[in-house]
Amino acid sequence: MKTRWVVTGADGMLGRDLVALLHREGELAQGLRRVDLDVTEASAVGALFARLRPEVVVNCAAWTAVDDAESHEEEALAVNGHGPANLAAACAATGTRLVQVSTDYVFGGTAGQPYREDAATEPRTAYGRTKLAGEQAVSQRLPGACYIVRTAWLYGAQRRNFVRTMIRLERERPTIEVVDDQHGQPTWTLDVAAQIIALVRAQSATGIYHATSSGHTTWCDLAREVFRLLGADPLRVKPVASSTLQRPAVRPAYTVLGHDRWAAAGIAPIQDWRQSLHYAFPALLATETGGSRPSAD
């Protein structure tokens, strides 16, 4: 029997890929954009549940403007904290399972080894604090029926992102400067979508899971890999320190996430980031350039 899925934030990178993948696999999936549902309105959430009667809700709705959140923390909290609380309350009242998508920014970024799923959180930005508030609200209101899926460094064919920007800049500039002192895991949105579906279908133990690519790298080395796939000289990408950017929100230096809980659930973690980038690249290139340049083998 097919499961009734609802995906909020369905106009974002992950939401779009998740809805598309669910449809390809024959599931009953309803994608909702912000114009369709404002998760900060509890009454609207309740009306939605009464109308659609979802069995699984995946909350991809989020305030993701990291720098803007520093000066608009209350607005970010409404979406990232109060929105998940509203969804969790509705799920608790109807026996619905909830997948809350979260972020590596809940960690402080000072570790020297991958963060375990149960590692202590220590957000250093408004964005991280508001996303952690969402995690806590869901866990408190929906114990035993929620999944918190943390991801990071997302890229995909939909919407602007770092990888697509590097494809564009390779055409426009002889050299570019990219920070080389932040370590993380570039992650394809389609991989995350597949992990979420596998997690729900397997009826795995609820709790926290880290849906990021295996391995890790820096933004500079990621940009160089993009250049290599374009057949361009990777050394045109020049490393710089994060301090040169002067952004309102501090970026965590190290947010590599561990994947131990996937093994316990009997689900393989996402493959190495280079492999995923290689598979994703034709779609990224086609979206950004119309497929005018072949990628390198």
Residues annotated as part of the active site: 127
Task: Give CA–CA dist 233/42, Å, rounded.
Answer: 52
What b/e sequence results for 218-227 when a residue is b if at least 16 CB atoms lie within 10 Å of its CB, and e otherwise?
Answer: bbbbbbbbbb
What b/e sequence results for 98-108 when a residue is b if at least 16 CB atoms lie within 10 Å of its CB, and e otherwise?
Answer: bbbbbbbbbbb
171: left (phi over 0), alpha (psi -120 to 50) or beta: alpha
User: Which DSSP symbol is given to 34?
Assistant: T
**Alpha-helical runs (H) found in the chain:** 13-24, 42-52, 66-69, 73-77, 83-94, 126-141, 162-172, 189-201, 219-229, 260-265, 273-289
Task: Give CA–CA dist 117/93, Å, rounded.
Answer: 27
Contact 145, 98 (CB under 8 A): yes
